[in-house]
Amino acid sequence: MKKVITYGTYDLLHQGHINLLLRAKALGDYLIVGVTNDNFDRERGKLNVRNNVLERVEAVKATGLADKIIIEDYVGQKIDDIQKYNVDIFAIGSDWEGKFDYLNEFCQVVYLPRTEGISSTMLREESSDKISIGIVGCGRIAQKFIPETQMVDSVLVKAIYDIDQCVAQRVAQENGIEYICESFEELVGLSDAVYIATPHLCHYPQAKYALEHGCHVLCETPFVLCESQAEELFILAEKKGLVLLEANKTAYCPAFNHLITLVKSGLIGDVVGIDASESKLWRKENLRRELDPTQAGGSMFEMGSYPLLPIIKLLGTNYRNINLYSRNNENGVDIYTRGIISYKKAVSSFQLGLGVKTEGNLIISGTKGYAYVPSPWWKTDYFELRYEDQNQNKKYFYKWDEPGLRYEIQEFVSCVINNRKHSSRLKPAESICMARIMQQFGDKKNFMEI
């Protein structure tokens, strides 16, 4: 049997892709198609892929031309795949002429003619209606968000609003934003979507208003601090046919998603424990809002969504019990919180410090081994799977583009363009679960002050 392998992004699958697959299949008896993972395009500088990797795999599968479909995850994988699958021919489009000659050492390399007059880039340009985003709130995170939108195709920051008009004017001038709005209502009227980067207690009313008036919503963490509010907003978004995403940057980061996939595939066995921590030692003058009790300040509300993320992604939303322990400052705001979450067959813990420092690692314990992600794990670019036999240990390296907001922007835009109401990377049920835990903390249920 003669085996052929080819690779591609296969974004907006078109006749040119199908022709290339037909030509590759004609070279042998068995065709393996490698679909590049999302991070490959991120490493090329722009996040211009419209379909996520699962959508692209399904599109290739639907052609009926591939005997086997694999995911291309890392540089150098082509050699590994050729040897692993005993490949006879490596086939690729002629626009890569000469670039893969080094593979002749392992198999025959064939450059296939491309179909003239069609490409994914051309299709994206032809359908490049910009999604106009309005930004509410001009704090630290919003000022990082704006330049990150330039790394994603089909998005334009059109308008901005902040209760401090002087700040809004400065940010707009620095970033070439067309409209400086005098109200949130005006912002919504000018925008296809809104990015909510205001203090926590503003999230619910602003998200509700935007959804009611036909705007997609990307809302900063914590999404809301009440379970019923989270449920209400997701029901409203579904009813209106709009996208509603929580802007948890780690949830959309390539390395974190690969970690979750590997752990769920059973490489470290059954997960029995997760320990996640995050802490920051900022100067108090930089933490006015974060330590303000009237604005839902404190370590739990400010940072809790991040260590809760791997726990909920891997162990689920149906936990048995949560116990919370906090140390407050003189204003009654928690500067340190520790939580213990028990499940039927697992237990997890998280630590948060805002003015208290702890090691910011993520450790996922399994029956066959464990996953270790060093601090700062929420900016995942490297992790290890470790075993009793250290010869089996594996290390995984990824590129993290600081400040990491482009990943959530790309996912949000992809959902809007492809009429995909939810993201598998942070599902509504998971955001609702986080809101439930935030509410328990606010209600001081199963809570002890230390």
Sheet hosting strand 68-72, strand order edge to edge: 68-72, 30-36, 3-8, 89-93, 108-112
Is 258 within the bounds of a domain? no
Q: CATH number for the domain including 78?
A: 3.40.50.620
281 and 390 fall within a common domain: yes
Q: How many domains does the chain have?
A: 3
Give the whole-angstrom CA distance, residue 121 versus residue 177: 26
200 and 302 fall within a common domain: no
pLDDT of residue 46: 42
86 and 57 fall within a common domain: yes
Q: Specify the DSSP element, H or E, that contains 273.
A: strand 271-280
Which domain range does residue 42 map to? 3-123
Global pTM value: 0.82
Is 257 within the bounds of a domain? no
pLDDT of residue 45: 43
58 and 157 fall within a common domain: no
From 90, 123, 156, the end of a domain falls on 123
Is 69 within the bounds of a domain? yes
Q: CATH number for the domain including 245?
A: 3.40.50.720
Closest alpha carbon to 380 in 345, 425, 346: 425
Is 409 within the bounds of a domain? no
204 and 280 fall within a common domain: no
Centre a 10 Å sphere on the Cβ of residue 104 and count the other Cβ atoms it contains: 10
Burial of residue 309 (number of CB atoms within 10 Å: 0-12, 13-18, 19+):
buried
> Three-state SS for 157?
strand
Closest alpha carbon to 118 in 8, 9, 12, 45: 12
pLDDT of residue 128: 54
Is 328 within the bounds of a domain? yes
299 and 243 fall within a common domain: no
**How does pLDDT run along the chain (450 residues), one tens digit per residue?**
999 999 988 887 888 899 999 999 999 999 999 998 765 555 544 455 667 777 889 999 999 999 999 988 777 899 999 999 999 999 999 989 999 999 999 999 999 998 765 655 554 555 556 899 999 999 999 999 999 999 887 899 999 999 999 999 999 999 999 999 999 999 999 999 999 999 999 999 999 999 999 999 999 999 999 999 999 999 999 999 999 999 999 999 988 998 999 999 999 999 999 999 999 887 666 667 888 888 999 999 999 999 999 999 999 999 999 999 999 998 899 999 999 999 999 999 999 999 899 999 999 999 999 999 999 999 999 999 999 999 999 998 887 888 999 999 989 998 998 888 999 999 999 999 999 999 999 999 999 999
How does strand 179-180 pair with strand 155-161?
parallel
140 and 118 fall within a common domain: no
271 and 373 fall within a common domain: yes
Terminal Cα-to-Cα distance of the chain (whole angstroms): 68
From 76, 103, 123, the end of a domain falls on 123
pLDDT of residue 213: 98
Is 49 within the bounds of a domain? yes
111 and 140 fall within a common domain: no
117 and 154 fall within a common domain: no
Q: CATH number for the domain including 344?
A: 3.30.360.10
133 and 85 fall within a common domain: no
Is 14 within the bounds of a domain? yes
pLDDT of residue 289: 81
217 and 339 fall within a common domain: no
pLDDT of residue 336: 96
Is 422 within the bounds of a domain? no
From 66, 91, 123, the end of a domain falls on 123
